Amino acid sequence: MARMHKSRRGKSGSKKVYRNSPPEWVEMSAEEIEKKIVELYNEGYEPSQIGMILRDRYGIPSIKQVTGKKLMDILIENGIKPKYPEDLKALIKKALKLRRHLEIHKKDLHNRRGLQLIEAKIWRLSNYYKEKGYLPSDWSYDPDKLRVELS
């Protein structure tokens, strides 16, 4: 697949091993894993961090193999719905940090272009999430409002 803001192709990624059942070495049951996911989220970890913690500390290679559900589905079943999807939130934080930098260094043209590219990704991703229903249809990217909200 080609890169978003470059005229060259990216590297191909590795594929997960196909497996119908959970591996034999997984000691936790599906209910224990679901409780641990909710507990880790309440401690302040993001969903991607939860997956890595479960993989590294508890030896669970794939949550979906053991529980039959995705991590976000487990969180939503337990009444936890993050306000913003994790990838959009990371892009917004990156853009806000870059805006803060550009307030100090007004002539930094390379990073001004970088900010334009990041904000283009935010707008594209927000349109996708509006279509899917993860964001309200009247949501718009407003850096000043989001700075207060995400800080």
Average pLDDT over residues 113-121: 96
pLDDT at 2: 63
pLDDT of 30-62, one tens digit each?
999 999 999 999 999 999 999 999 999 999 988
Q: CA dist 102 to 45, 92, 111, 127, Å?
A: 29, 15, 8, 26
Looking at the structure, tell me whether residues 99 and 146 fall in a common domain.
yes
The answer to whether residue 14 sits within a structural domain is no
For the chain, the domain total comes to 2
Neighbours of 16 (CB within 10 A): 9
pTM for this structure? 0.81
pLDDT of 95-110, one tens digit each?
999 999 999 999 999 9
| 8 A C-beta contact, residue 58 and residue 28 | yes
Confidence of residue 131 (pLDDT cuts 50, 70, 90): very high
The answer to whether residue 15 sits within a structural domain is no
**Per-residue tokens: 4:** 């978003």
Looking at the structure, tell me whether residues 58 and 96 fall in a common domain.
no
- CATH number (domain holding residue 95): 1.10.287.10
Q: CA dist 16 to 30, 62, 65, Å?
A: 21, 10, 12
